[in-house]
Amino acid sequence: MKYSEQLYRQVCSIWQSYETHPFLLGLFDGTLPIEKFRFYMIQDYLYLLDYAKVFALGIAKADSIEEMQFFSQNVHQILHGEMEIHRSYMQRLGISDQDAAQASIHPANYSYTAYMLKEAYQGGVPEILAAILACSWSYADIALHLSERYPQAISHPFFGEWVAGYASQSYQATNQSLIDRLDIAAAHLSKTTLEHLSQIFQACSRYELGFWDMAWNEQA
């Protein structure tokens, strides 16, 4: 069994709760109140700024030019790909760049990104991959599973762009490249290190659930 498959089994119950979460069900069935989505979009925009920094630390800690290029490409994809979806929605929601820059980061959001950055600073490439993968992989997983349950979601006039972005082949492929890289790294790591990576992955999965709770409750 691949190491990534072991990780998936360990967080299966947490990830299943994503797919029954009222925020995500509302997003996919089209009933999510726009104000909740607006709050989520601002917080996720702030999250992605730090998420990109975690990838950037991978450049600094890489052991080869190829590895540096890998993390560099992911930083570019976040800042010029994933965040473009956010900027599109922010424009439609009347959120200016100044509004986003001046927004207060929610404590649940701050705790999550601070944890990822701590593990990235203190660890190496494997710790960075474990920290970022819970977000990347769970979004890919959510998009695939809920798109199957709600096939009309991708064509929704407002939420469809979000669904399409994370269900796209390009996003799924990018996520798979992270999984593959962690599996390759895991083959050369000690049991103690693998257990630590598992702890990181599980913690970030719990933080993801807290993020959805925060978005649903609109707790500013």
Which are the catalytic amino acids?
135, 208
> Please, what is the Cα angle at 97 between 56 and 205, to 5 degrees?
45
**Residue 209 and residue 204: Cα distance in Å, rounded?**
9
Measure CA 58 to chain center: 16
Listed in sequence order, the residues at least 6 apart from 46 whose beta carbon sits closer than 8 Å to its beta carbon are 100, 103, 105, 109
Q: Which tokens is 61 given?
A: 């800690």
Q: Which tokens is 75 given?
A: 């930083």
Distances (CA, A) of 145 to 19, 135, 149, 151: 8, 15, 7, 10
